[in-house]
Amino acid sequence: MAAKHVHRILKENGKFNVSKRRRRGVPWEDAYHSTLTMNWFYFFLVLFTLYLALNFGFALAYFLAGPEAIDGARTTSDLQRFTDDFFFSVQTFSTIGYGKMSPNGIFPNILVTLEALAGMVSIAIVAGILFARFSRPTARVLFSRNAIIGMHDGQYTLSIRMANERLNEIVDAQVSAYVIVDTKTKEGQQFRVPLDLPLQRSKSSIFALSWTLFHTIDEQSPLFGKTRDDLDAIHAEIFVTLVGIDDTFSASIHSRRSYLPSEIVYDHRYTDMLHRHDDGKFFLDLTKIHDTTPMESVHKSV
């Protein structure tokens, strides 16, 4: 039997699982944002491709200027001359200038002038983009692999645990939770609708250790009376979003996670991960953030 394909809006790494067909426009109109958001492999691939293309274009211009355009370039064959023109372009573009080859004539000197300008501008742009990518503050928040639905303090409750992986604090942290479900209007039109999941505590002045979120499943809750099969039928997806200020960079950061019905564990509790040592220090064991314990074993141990 083929495995059921799971559709989710948010991937486990917090990125949206959505593709878009954009309107027609200038391909590079949003180039700056694209260079900041693409992954590192594609960023350096695009950078290297553009670098080769620019040098290839200038090398072709030097080649078309004639055999005497570059003093010191080999002229025994067109391939050797083009190769020397290409590496002369690399030296000019990067402002290296070994001195072995030099431009000869007005047109080659004009090309060198333009390439030197293009090289300086390109280096400044790439340096700015690299700085922006490296300096952009990001959160390192760990979310539990599974959400829990079970009894908590005498009430049926949805629980989700998260922890700050870094050795700093997230100041004025705020968390929101909601569930997105399929619904139909009276006219039969289908929508994906977000429904709020109010939390017992949604703010923390300093988020440095772990934080377990609790949503009481009462008559006002969108989860009230819903089984796992009910949630599957309406393609439910629970979202958790955290925003706050990183005290290291004094900049806003955010992190998010979603849970499908198959990632909800019933009648469990999270295993303790915060311990106190005899010397008064606290120890947070992040390796246990995903661990859960059945509620039956908890009752038996009391």
Over residues 144-163, the pLDDT tens digits come to 999 999 999 889 999 999 99
For residue 183, the domain's CATH number is 2.60.40.1400
Cα 185 to the chain's mean position, in Å? Answer: 35
CATH (domain of 47): 1.10.287.70
Mean pLDDT of 69-73: 89
* pLDDT for 20: 65
| Cα(24)–Cα(21) distance, integer angstroms | 9
Q: Nearest-CA neighbor of 214 among 275, 255, 269? A: 269
Polymer length of the chain: 302
176 and 270 in a single domain? The answer is yes
Total structural domains within the chain:
2
Name the more confident of 81 and 297.
81
Instruction: Specify the 3-state DSSP secondary structure of 196.
Output: strand
Question: pLDDT for 191-228, tens place per residue?
Answer: 889 999 999 999 998 888 889 999 999 999 999 999 99
139 or 4, which is more confident: 139
Between 278 and 148, whose confidence is greater?
148
Task: Name the pLDDT band for 29 (thresholds 50, 70, 90).
Answer: low
pLDDT of the residue at 5? 47
Spatial contact of 141 and 255, defined as CB atoms under 8 Å apart: yes
Cβ-contact 92, 119 below 8 angstroms = yes
Shared domain for 164 and 109, answered yes or no, is no
Helix (H) or strand (E) holding 175: strand 170-184
Same-domain status, 152 and 128: no
Looking at per-residue pLDDT, the higher value among 167 and 254 belongs to 254
Task: Decide if 161 is inside a domain.
Answer: yes
199 and 258 share one domain: yes
Six-digit token string for 105: 């004539």
Average pLDDT score, the chain? 87
Q: Which two tokens stand for residue 228?
A: 């796992």
- Under the phi-then-psi rule, with left for phi > 0, alpha for psi from -120 to 50, and beta for the rest, what region is 21? beta
d(CA 148, CA 161): 9
Chain centroid offset of residue 58 CA? 36
The whole-number pLDDT of residue 27 equals: 58
Per-residue confidence at 135, pLDDT binned at 50, 70, 90? confident
pTM score, whole prediction: 0.74
- Asked if pLDDT for residue 11 goes beyond 50, the answer is yes
**pLDDT at res. 145:** 93
Burial of 162 (0-12, 13-18, 19+ CB in 10 A): buried
Structural domain that includes position 95? 31-135
pLDDT at site 121: 94
What does the pLDDT read at residue 167? 83
| CA nearest neighbour of 257 among 151, 120, 162 | 162
Domain boundary among 116, 135, 154: 135
Amino acid identity, residue 92? Answer: T
The pairing of strands 70-71 and 102-103 is: antiparallel
Please give the share of the chain, as a percent, with pLDDT higher than 70: 90
CA torsion, ordered 141, 145, 148, 152, to nearest 10 deg = -40
Cα separation of 92 and 62, whole Å? 12
Closest of 66, 65, 115 to residue 89, by C-alpha: 115
pLDDT of the residue at 134: 86
Of 198, 263, 206, which is closest to residue 237 (Cα–Cα)? 263
Does the pLDDT of residue 119 top 50, yes or no? Answer: yes
Q: Is residue 24 part of a domain?
A: no
Give the number of other CB atoms < 10 A from CB of residue 16. Answer: 12
- In this prediction, residue 6 has a pLDDT band, given cuts at 50, 70 and 90, of low
DSSP for 209-247, written as a single string: SEEEEEEE-STTSTTTT--HHHHHHTT-EEEEEEEEEET
Pick from 90, 116, 112: which is nearest to 102 by CA?
Answer: 112
pLDDT reported for residue 73: 87
| Domain identity same for 46 and 146 | no
Contact 116, 95 (CB under 8 A): yes
Question: Per the domain annotation, does 88 fall within a domain?
Answer: yes
Distance between CA 91 and CA 285 in Å, rounded? 53
Residue 96 pLDDT greater than 50, yes or no: yes
In a shared domain, residues 111 and 191: no
Query: Would you say residue 164 has pLDDT above 80?
Result: yes
Please report the pLDDT score of residue 28 as a whole number: 63
pLDDT for 282: 81
Q: What is the mean pLDDT of residues 97-114?
A: 90
Q: 4 with 229: CB under 8 angstroms?
A: no
